[in-house]
Amino acid sequence: MHFTTWLTFFFAACVIAVSPGSGAVLSMSHGLNYGVKKASGTIMGLQAGLLLILAIAGAGVGSILMASEFAFSVVKTIGALYLIYLGISQWRAKNDVPVAGNAVGDRVANTQVPALSRRFLTGFLTNATNPKGIIFMVAVLPQFISHDAPLLPQLLILGVTMCAIDLVVMHGYAFAASIMQRYFRDPKWLKSQNRFFGGILIAIGAALFFVKRSPSN
């Protein structure tokens, strides 16, 4: 892979990672509720889902999903319903408000934190069932792959690059949200932030129903 090709992919991946989406909303939500350290488990799950989509696109399965109306609709529906489920859960979430002490430490201590495996799975499913991610991989990834070179090394380079960028960006979102914990000691604010992030997840999930597959040639 030429350096200029990799550099172009690097900037493209940066734009995609920074663009707000379900992964960013989930990272901010968990960063705000559980702190950056706990949110790392969720973010690692997001990367696992991202790698799965890359592997699917690289293996050509993504092209099949794009060519089959039924297969694409199934993936789209699962992803949309899962995001809506996450949004409803976030909307209805209840948090205890600390009375005194360190705002950040008490905020996390008084919030029921899901197990690491559950946080990882939540992140994984959020990205793995996102049809927009499949569309991006199938439409964009082939442009950075040379047919004159072995496929696997190129996929590894692109995968490591993409995940490294996304790790930094998602942790940035989680950190930015976590430093706002001190402003959410009031029950009304807690309720508002849960409904804010929940509403965004529900909106993103609903929007996925309108995502169209690219017409097959």
Using CA atoms, how far apart are residues 153 and 163, in angstroms rounded to an integer? 15
Using CA atoms, how far apart are residues 91 and 87, in angstroms rounded to an integer? 6
**Which residue matches tokens 């799965």?**
52
Residues 169 and 177 sit within 8 Å (Cβ to Cβ): no
Residues 50 and 136 sit within 8 Å (Cβ to Cβ): no
pLDDT, tens only, 151-205: 788 889 988 999 999 999 999 999 988 887 666 556 676 677 778 877 877 887 7
Banded model confidence at residue 29, pLDDT cuts 50, 70, 90 = confident
Using CA atoms, how far apart are residues 98 and 83, in angstroms rounded to an integer? 29
DSSP code, position 184:
-
- Exposure on the CB side of residue 32, measured as CA atoms within 13 A: 25
Neighbouring CB atoms inside 10 A of 132's CB total: 17
pLDDT, tens only, 48-77: 999 998 888 777 766 666 677 787 777 778
Least confident of 35-39, 88-92, 178-182: 178-182
Mean pLDDT estimate for the chain? 78
